């Protein structure tokens, strides 16, 4: 038998192949290291040593608000502040700084929550916190059946009251500071303390800044009001550092380089003019390396916000508010005034739309539960009421515009009965007389206005018969015309959230007649002032405004900076009536106050400034704070008055509204009393502000006009 052939081994070949693979891999690695160290070494070294420039913005005080005579209304009061800027520090580093700072300042702990305490306890007691989790749970964590968040939530739940008692008062103070540190955003100064910072605290922190990385001493500000609560509801409010940017406008502000914790106007004038009041922040460049601050340099100086010069005359505003307060309390002493709790006055230049006074007072309670009159100037644009006959000037002019009547058109004023309407529709007195529009305005004829509305609707009246409107757009025609005066539409005043009033929903013929005498839709005091201004100035609806000028920030050598923007009057529309038609209505309004038959003659006959206007009493339903859900409708009377003076050369226009003035068919006349005293006050203050020569010239002009 032949010998068997010996089987060849494959082991040496596999080993050699392995060695070859290892050799190739090491060769690649060495080559790569050579590229890194030799070819790109310098580049990577520069990257390691690279410094970064980070721009930090520091907020500046807001602009001031002044009245038309340059009296300061809203200003800034400086106060010492301690801030912290998170420069990408770790929690442990921040805690150390908080502990050092707690030795130098007293920090209130009233904002510290139980959750804050538990977080702080975990941070200070990591081992004890770890023991809150069982071994089995840690095994589940390693097996990824529990995540970090679940472990953390379990630790929080298992921290006991006894655990939290381990935190001393000093610990809580550190926690209060640490809480402020972590509530801010990276590279954004965060207020740590700005209330009650003593000189000793400020000095101690300033002297130890090198041991307190991120901490700084600076000056913060608060809004201060020279006239206390006067007009404060209209001036608006500013957010504090805890509120920061309003969530609903967050994207808007962030897009304009605001910081999240920055203070901004959150209501009314402060919000409306945020862009100019805010100012230009100072910018500082921080030079960092590996997260460490190497130094800083100023990029640009900050500039506080621009100043607003308002149209308001604060001396007149205060005087008008005093009149309101006295007349509200006087009216409350009469019968049937349980529901009366407010009154409003607006004074406006009819030619420019400048609002000189925007006054509202409402009965409320102070912090001690005492009944007081509170500022409710905001109600002049935010609340609306039935105003009654004050709108009759607009009704007559609407009759002219639609061709329903012409100057001299006469109607019989007698009670009217319309089929389907339960009550007889009549004037406040059974005149039983034929009258034209001038007398209808003078004596406040309802029937004349009813018949004008019927003509607008292209209908015919017959006793106890239905009104068949041939014009299906009668409501739209009348409301559209009223809107041309500013009634039932936004006036355009430079304030947010202006109300437009309530529009009656039903379209029955009887309601069109009610609309004609101001007893269907509701209007704001500001709308009423714009309406009477439109008549007074010759038919131009002027946009009312509260800001007269925007000024550059004043320097230390100036009381007021140069004008940045002078805001000019804006005509929104004109009234399409002839001079004859407009003058006919203006004569009727003059007779209201200067003719013995006029409804306001007794109170205004001796007024030296020759006023014109229209009174109003509206049957309405109470809709105030005492109304409860499910209550029956309570009948009340609203009082109103619109006026301008002098009648032949108007310089001031006024609206007065006293809602829910009384219950019953008769009561006080607070609208007359307020209106007369307010106009007297305006002309008295004007006279005081004149020089002797100006007073003589004014007296001569008055004599010439009278003759």
Q: pLDDT of 269-294, one tens digit each?
A: 999 999 999 988 776 666 665 555 55
Q: Give the confidence band of 10 by pLDDT, cuts at 50, 70, 90.
A: low
Distance from C-alpha of 469 to C-alpha of 271, rounded to nearest angstrom:
47
pLDDT of residue 1: 46
Instruction: Say yes or no to pLDDT of 56 above 90.
Output: no
Q: 290-304, 364-378, 519-533, 621-635 — which one is most confidently predicted on average?
A: 519-533
Which tens digit of pLDDT belongs to each residue from 348-398?
999 999 999 999 999 999 888 899 999 999 999 999 999 999 999 999 999
**618-625 long-range Cβ contacts below 8 angstroms, 24+ apart:** 618/385, 618/386, 618/387, 618/388, 618/389, 618/518, 618/519, 619/386, 619/388, 619/519, 620/385, 620/386, 620/519, 620/659, 620/660, 622/339, 622/660, 624/339, 624/341, 624/659, 624/660, 625/341
Which tens digit of pLDDT belongs to each residue from 574-589?
999 999 999 999 999 9
Query: Mapping DSSP to helix (H, G, I), strand (E, B) and coil, where does residue 484 land?
Result: helix
Instruction: Say yes or no to pLDDT of 4 above 60.
Output: no
Distance from C-alpha of 611 to C-alpha of 123, rounded to nearest angstrom:
76
Distance from C-alpha of 528 to C-alpha of 534, rounded to nearest angstrom:
10
Which tens digit of pLDDT belongs to each residue from 421-448?
888 999 999 999 999 999 999 999 999 9
Asked which of 371-385, 401-415, 626-640 is least confident by mean pLDDT, the reply is 626-640
> In the chain, what is the straight-line distance between the N-terminal and C-terminal CA atoms, in Å?
161
Residue 239 corresponds to which tokens in the numbers above? 């957010």
pLDDT of residue 28: 79
CA atoms within 13 A on the CB side of 645: 26
Which tens digit of pLDDT belongs to each residue from 209-248?
888 988 888 888 889 999 998 999 999 999 987 788 888 8
Find, among 690, 626, 632, the residue nearest to 660 by Cα. 626
Find, among 707, 517, 536, 694, the residue nearest to 611 by Cα. 536
Distance (Å) of CA 57 to CA 189, 256, 617: 8, 13, 57
Distance from C-alpha of 688 to C-alpha of 691, rounded to nearest angstrom:
8
The partner residues of 375 in beta bridges, in order of sequence, read 361
Give the phi and the psi of residue 538 in degrees, each rounded to 5.
100, 15
Beta pairing, strands 282-289 & 292-300: antiparallel
Residue 418 corresponds to which tokens in the numbers above? 């319309």
Average pLDDT of 599-606? Answer: 96
Residue 481 corresponds to which tokens in the numbers above? 């015309």
Element (H, E) at 310: strand 307-310
**Residues 544/549/553/559 CA torsion (nearest 10 deg):** -110
Average pLDDT of 643-652? Answer: 97
Average predicted confidence (pLDDT) for the chain: 88
Q: Give the confidence band of 2 by pLDDT, cuts at 50, 70, 90.
A: very low
Q: Where are the domains of the chain?
A: 50-83+193-204+214-309, 89-185, 381-644
Asked which of 195-209, 327-341, 524-538, 581-595 is least confident by mean pLDDT, the reply is 195-209
Asked which of 89-93, 322-326, 544-548, 658-662 is least confident by mean pLDDT, the reply is 89-93
Which are the catalytic amino acids? Answer: 389
Average pLDDT of 142-153? Answer: 89
Q: Does domain 89-185 have CATH number 3.90.180.10?
A: no
Give the phi and the psi of residue 221 in degrees, each rounded to 5.
-150, 155
Q: Give the confidence band of 71 by pLDDT, cuts at 50, 70, 90.
A: very high
- pTM of this prediction? 0.83
Find, among 564, 644, 632, 567, the residue nearest to 604 by Cα. 644
50-83+193-204+214-309 to CATH, choices 2.60.120.260, 3.10.310.10, 3.30.505.10, 3.90.1310.10: 3.90.1310.10
Distance from C-alpha of 411 to C-alpha of 452, rounded to nearest angstrom:
9
Asked which of 9-23, 156-170, 456-470 is least confident by mean pLDDT, the reply is 9-23
CB 277 within 8 A of CB 268: no
pLDDT of residue 173: 86
Instruction: Say yes or no to pLDDT of 184 above 90.
Output: no
CB 430 within 8 A of CB 415: yes
Greater confidence (628 vs 41) lies with 628
Query: Mapping DSSP to helix (H, G, I), strand (E, B) and coil, where does residue 373 land?
Result: strand
The partner residues of 282 in beta bridges, in order of sequence, read 58
**Residues 143/144/148/153 CA torsion (nearest 10 deg):** -80
CB 385 within 8 A of CB 526: no
Distance from C-alpha of 216 to C-alpha of 219, rounded to nearest angstrom:
10
Asked which of 416-430, 442-456, 608-622, 674-688 is least confident by mean pLDDT, the reply is 416-430
* CATH fold of 381-644: Beta-lactamase (3.40.710)
Average pLDDT of 410-423? Answer: 90
């Amino acid at each position: 038998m032949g010998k068997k052939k010996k089987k060849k081994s494959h082991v040496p070949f596999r080993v050699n192949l392995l060695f070859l693979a290892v050799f190739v891999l090491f060769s690649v690695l060495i080559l790569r290291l050579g590229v890194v160290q030799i070819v790109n070494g310098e580049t990577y070294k520069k990257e390691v040593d690279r410094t970064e420039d980070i721009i930090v913005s520091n907020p500046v005080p807001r602009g001031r608000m002044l009245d038309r005579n340059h009296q300061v209304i809203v200003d800034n009061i400086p106060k010492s502040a301690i801030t912290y800027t998170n420069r990408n520090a770790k929690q442990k580093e921040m805690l150390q700084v908080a502990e050092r700072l707690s030795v130098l300042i007293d920090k209130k702990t009233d904002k510290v929550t139980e959750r804050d305490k538990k977080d702080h306890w975990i941070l200070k007691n990591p081992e004890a916190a770890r023991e809150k989790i069982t071994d089995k749970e840690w095994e589940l964590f390693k097996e990824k059946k529990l995540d970090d968040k679940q472990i953390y939530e379990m630790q929080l739940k298992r921290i006991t009251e006894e655990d939290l008692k381990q935190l001393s008062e000093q610990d809580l103070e550190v926690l209060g500071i640490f809480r402020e540190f972590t509530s801010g955003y990276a590279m954004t100064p965060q207020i740590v303390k700005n209330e009650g910072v003593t000189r000793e605290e400020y000095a101690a922190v300033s002297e130890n800044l090198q041991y307190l990385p991120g901490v700084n001493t600076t000056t913060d500000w608060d809004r201060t009001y020279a006239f206390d609560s006067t007009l404060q509801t209209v001036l608006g409010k500013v957010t504090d550092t805890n509120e920061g940017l309003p969530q609903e406008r967050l994207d808007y502000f962030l897009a304009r380089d605001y910081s999240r914790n920055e203070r901004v106007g959150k209501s009314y004038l402060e919000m409306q003019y945020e862009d100019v009041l805010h100012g230009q922040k100072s910018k500082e460049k921080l030079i960092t390396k590996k997260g460490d601050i190497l130094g800083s340099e100023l990029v640009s100086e900050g500039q506080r916000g621009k100043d607003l010069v308002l149209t308001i005359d604060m001396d007149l505003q205060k005087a008008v508010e005093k009149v309101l307060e006295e007349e509200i309390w006087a009216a409350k002493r009469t019968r049937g005034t349980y529901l009366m709790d407010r009154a409003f006055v607006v004074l406006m230049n009819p030619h420019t739309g400048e609002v000189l006074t925007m006054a509202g007072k409402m009965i409320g309670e102070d912090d001690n539960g005492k009944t007081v009159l509170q500022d409710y100037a905001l109600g002049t644009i935010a609340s609306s009421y039935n105003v009654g006959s004050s709108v009759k000037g607009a009704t007559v002019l609407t009759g002219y515009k639609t061709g329903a009547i012409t100057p001299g058109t006469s109607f019989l004023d007698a009670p009217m009965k319309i089929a389907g309407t339960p009550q007889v529709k009549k004037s406040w007195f059974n005149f039983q007389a034929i009258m034209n529009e001038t007398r209808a305005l003078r004596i406040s004829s309802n029937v004349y206005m009813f018949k004008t509305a019927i003509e607008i609707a292209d209908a015919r009246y017959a006793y106890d018969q239905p009104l068949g409107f041939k014009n299906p757009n009668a409501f739209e025609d009348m409301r559209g015309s009223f809107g041309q005066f500013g009634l039932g539409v936004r006036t355009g005043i430079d304030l947010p959230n202006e109300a437009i009033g309530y529009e009656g929903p039903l379209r029955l013929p009887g309601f069109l007649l009610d609309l004609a005498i101001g007893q269907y839709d509701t209007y704001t005091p500001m709308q009423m002032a714009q309406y009477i201004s439109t008549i007074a100035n010759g038919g131009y609806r002027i946009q009312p405004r509260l800001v007269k000028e925007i000024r550059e920030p004043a320097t230390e050598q100036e009381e007021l900076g140069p004008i940045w923007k002078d805001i000019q009057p804006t005509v929104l529309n004109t009234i399409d009536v002839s001079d004859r038609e407009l003058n006919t209505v203006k004569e009727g309004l003059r007779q209201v106050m200067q003719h013995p038959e006029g409804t306001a003659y007794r109170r205004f006959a001796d007024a030296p400034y020759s006023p014109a206007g229209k009174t109003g009493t509206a049957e309405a339903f109470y809709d105030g704070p005492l109304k409860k859900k499910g209550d029956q409708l309570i009948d009340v009377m609203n009082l109103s008055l619109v006026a301008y003076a002098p009648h032949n050369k108007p310089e001031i226009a006024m609206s007065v509204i006293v809602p829910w003035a009384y219950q019953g068919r008769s009561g006080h006349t607070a609208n007359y009393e307020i209106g007369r005293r307010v106009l007297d006050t305006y002309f008295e203050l004007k006279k005081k502000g004149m020089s002797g020569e100006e007073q003589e010239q004014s007296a001569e002009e008055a004599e010439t006009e009278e003759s």
